[in-house]
Structure 1
């Protein structure tokens, strides 16, 4: 058995920030990070625009050093308007303090090019675009955003991980934890070839680790709250259609109240000049999107998600299973892949086939299966998506073009939310942080949560 002061399960942004800050407080504190995925350099997704997803056992996009954020487009939301509820948990002032610390920490690990840190400028909010949306019954969320890009984000994470190793953090890839026990004030973490004892335990397994968190909470009798779930599509079109927005604020995040049912939908995760990608969530293939800061990797397209939020009430309490069942059906109809359909075909009630897709003016950036999304989506959700596309067309004409492509499904599960103390402890010396906590939904707030917990472990914060 190996003994450490702190054991962190998961090497995403939350776990990395926690380890970094713990070592800043006390370099002598022994820290181990165990991660079931691979190192950054070995996180290779074999999928391509031609092949599509090949169903790896452990998805390299969502697992590994850097977490799901390492393979994201690296959007850092410097605020609390979206991306989680950390502002509600800590208070706005304290939450912003830690979010800004995440921003400054990432900047400190950016590469130096010609004597200057390679760190991008902030995209600020825009009042003219907010007014344009309001005039069309849409709400543009107000947030400052820093776009790192997939490539720059990767380099920053690589530098952080190297630094952690240099200061003595024991980092272990390809290490899946099978059991956690608590005995005599110590946490015992075991798996194949792994037997660790630690005084403090930080679980930071990301959204993909929701099952691990649920199992942990059930084992130790920790109560859990059910979060909302989102289901929808990834939308792809010519980049020029949204350039008025993307050139001024980088990422438009827009809320819509749908015309037919007055349900809440949202447009988010906008990728200018980006690509649509597939990711494996515990055997279910869903759509996502990325963009790059390297101009040579830009495409002629942009993409974003349109998601319909669902809050179930009693007696149903399995929202994740509901979303997974829809995504599995899409995979079944898509022969193990996500579906793609022209918007014009969808509203006319016809299936997209290879012939129609081949004549589309929008060239798909992901090898997906042409099909009919209406065979997958529940009527209410599908109607919400169509209503939202027509609403967005009013502020970005061309969004509702026939050749706009819809990839289904895109799903956001948002982990169940374990009950916790004000310092995020769920048991003595055990913390659940980041997206697996159900509190955060992105890089900045997940990283901020890691920094806060590190301060708490060091006795440097007030809650």
Structure 2
């Protein structure tokens, strides 16, 4: 019998496994994907490392990235994030420096413009370094814990002394079971929870327009930092900038059967660009995962038209309520870094998102103290997906004793740093390292 079985080898599961391994626990780690060296670009979410294999952007902040601060308290959460960063550095993350988005002068200017800055300390590893760190972690873990890759857990049964897990070819006994399947394992997790008599709650979905502008427009804001995060409290909810890439490109991302515009850091390219891009996300909440997925498909799927279609429009044309043509794009001063279909966002994006976008850009111009170029490009439509919230205790235990849920599959964390921190925290609890547990 294993002490702990972890289902999911993303960052939450990895950090939990590392903590348990260090304390001599017997651990089984199961993942539906492949070992790191066998993962392909199409397997963006499954396999060792999960989404941590991508940009490797760890934001150490209580201001965004999930509700871990509400669950554990901001002081404990920040302490855990320091431990996450220390562990990453042990495996080579200190090859790149952290940077801070803190700028008191900018914060004051932003408030005067009707915006708020969100402060964070960032260690942005990039894809290459992320993979090297994960490879070192995988090698260490394989020496002391048991892995099962390309394995689906078919059933989980509660027994008097733990759990019995069944896969296609094997059965395992474990005192405790931890779900760490991320957003990609949502449907599997829902089915297992239903069998175990547990239910999930509301689901969040973020939709947004990715904006591509001249990199020089932001230089006054980015003199002392790589990026900034801005929030706009609109009548429809608080919209937040996400994944800002100075000198970066826009690429296609494939998720949930949809195709969306995504940002790529200039470090991942042979050469940088003269553009800057980011997404302005607006959150929505739905009673069920099915409702959230249906809404995303109705918006983004309609834009895709069964292909990889993404629509792009010039800001000047949007403000004039006119369609952007291919000829307009060909003559546009700001060269698009993504091949997209010229069109009219008002015909393809919900009106609420257009309204919030234009209100935000008005305030951004106030902050920048200069008008945005009418050649600024707007791509529709980006999406950020979340797992439904699952009720868990302060130590991530579900209503079924011995069954836990950490990382993004819990609905509590929405980022690499918070997912990793949740894994560390549970590992410390399960090995009795946590000095004080919140009642």
Using structure 1 for the length normalisation, give the TM-score. 0.86
Q: What does 1:174-193 align with in structure 2 at a 5 Å threshold?
A: 174-193=150-169
User: Does 1:210 find its partner at 2:186?
Assistant: yes
Secondary structure of the 2:339 match is coil
Superimposed CA distance per residue, residues 92-146 of structure 1 (whole angstroms, 9 cap, x where no aligned partner) = 22211111100110011007xxxxx513133251111111111101100122222
User: Does 1:256 find its partner at 2:247?
Assistant: no
Q: What does 1:150-299 align with in structure 2 at a 5 Å threshold?
A: 150-165=127-142, 167-193=143-169, 195-258=171-234, 261=235, 263-293=237-267, 296-299=270-273
CA gap of 1:188–1:442, structure 2 versus 1, over 3 A, is same
Deviation at 1:317, TM superposition (A): 8.8
Superimposed CA distance per residue, residues 175-221 of structure 1 (whole angstroms, 9 cap, x where no aligned partner) = 34444333344333344445433222121111222223332332222
Secondary structure of the 1:60 match is coil
Match of 2:403 in 1: 430
Query: What is the alpha-carbon distance in structure 1 between the residues aligned to residue 158 and residue 328 of structure 2?
Result: 59
Match of 1:71 in 2: 54
Match of 1:120 in 2: 97
Superimposed CA distance per residue, residues 299-323 of structure 1 (whole angstroms, 9 cap, x where no aligned partner) = 332211101222458x999334323
Match of 1:384 in 2: 356
Deviation at 1:235, TM superposition (A): 1.5
Query: What is the alpha-carbon distance in structure 1 between the residues aligned to residue 384 and residue 157 of structure 2?
Result: 30
Match of 1:108 in 2: 90
Tell me, yes or no, if the aligned pair for 2:9 and 2:50 is still in contact at 8 Å.
yes
Match of 1:413 in 2: 385
Instruction: Tell me the matched-pair count.
Output: 435
Among 74, 77, 86, the alignment partner of 1:92 is 74
User: Does 1:371 find its partner at 2:343?
Assistant: yes
Among 425, 434, 441, the alignment partner of 2:414 is 441
Superimposed CA distance per residue, residues 139-184 of structure 1 (whole angstroms, 9 cap, x where no aligned partner) = 001222222233222222222122212x322334333444433334
Query: What is the alpha-carbon distance in structure 1 between the residues aligned to residue 289 and residue 394 of structure 2?
Result: 29
Secondary structure of the 1:249 match is coil
CA gap of 1:160–1:246, structure 2 versus 1, over 3 A, is farther
Match of 2:3 in 1: 5
Query: What is the alpha-carbon distance in structure 2 between the residues aligned to residue 375 and residue 192 of structure 1?
Result: 48
Query: What is the alpha-carbon distance in structure 2 between the residues aligned to residue 400 and residue 4 of structure 1?
Result: 59
Superimposed CA distance per residue, residues 25-67 of structure 1 (whole angstroms, 9 cap, x where no aligned partner) = 11xx33222222333333333xxxxxxxxxxxxx422333211
Q: Which runs of 5+ in 2 are unaligned?
A: none
CA gap of 1:81–1:99, structure 2 versus 1, over 3 A, is same
CA gap of 1:212–1:396, structure 2 versus 1, over 3 A, is farther
